[in-house]
Amino acid sequence: MKLYQKFPETQVLTTQGVIDFYKDIFGKGKWLFLFAHPADFTPVCTTEFVEFAKAYNDFANLGVQLVGLSVDSVYSHIEWLKDIEEKYGVKVPFPVIADPDKKFARLLDIVDEASGQTIRGVFLVSPDGVIRFMAYYPLEAGRNISELLRITKAMIVNYKAKVVLPANWEPGKDVIVPPPNVFDEATMRMKMPKAKAWYLLFKDYNDLPSDQKL
């Protein structure tokens, strides 16, 4: 899969039953945050699941459905989630896709054929089924959940308000108006208070309509 492509229209088996992405998630106006982990009962993945579980409400409050994925069986997932709850006192509230035949993972192109495991990939998909963010992480290092939550917020504001977000953007900070493609508008923009260049015009986040903010 590539950035800005449509997410596959398919159903998957999870620890919470069968999910049809376009019916159960996008059809309800939700975003999808899908993250793959190499395997159950592995050290880095366990720490990630604990942290994703802790951040579950933060994602849910944004209208985002967290979903995990690996090529393990649903029985392995269930046993691992039980183990996490027993050892860390953290209940994993999101569904985890079981993909032992690697069919779905190959559809997303996140199978490491050498090891047979799933690549540590991330896909953020908007309610219209378009991949808005994707990333791959190494086997040896866990993901930064705070940064993934930040980029999720940024892409939601981009999707709603059609603005772009500067480096290190956080909710409440200035956004950027996309650059003009007409000469006269470029000249006009230079007269605006928050213009740094004809192609770089900042806008106060609080000036966005309420339905375009988080």
Cα–Cα distance for residue pair 131/203, rounded to 1 Å: 26
Cα–Cα distance for residue pair 90/47, rounded to 1 Å: 11
Which neighbouring-strand residues pair with 12?
19
Cα–Cα distance for residue pair 97/70, rounded to 1 Å: 7
Catalytic, out of 12, 13, 36, 45: 45
- Catalytic status, residue 45: yes
Instruction: Return all residues near 55 (Cβ < 8 A) that are at least 6 apart.
Output: 145, 149
Helix, coil or strand: residue 81: helix
Q: What backbone phi and psi angles, to 5 degrees, belong to 207?
A: -85, -10
Residues taking part in catalysis = 45
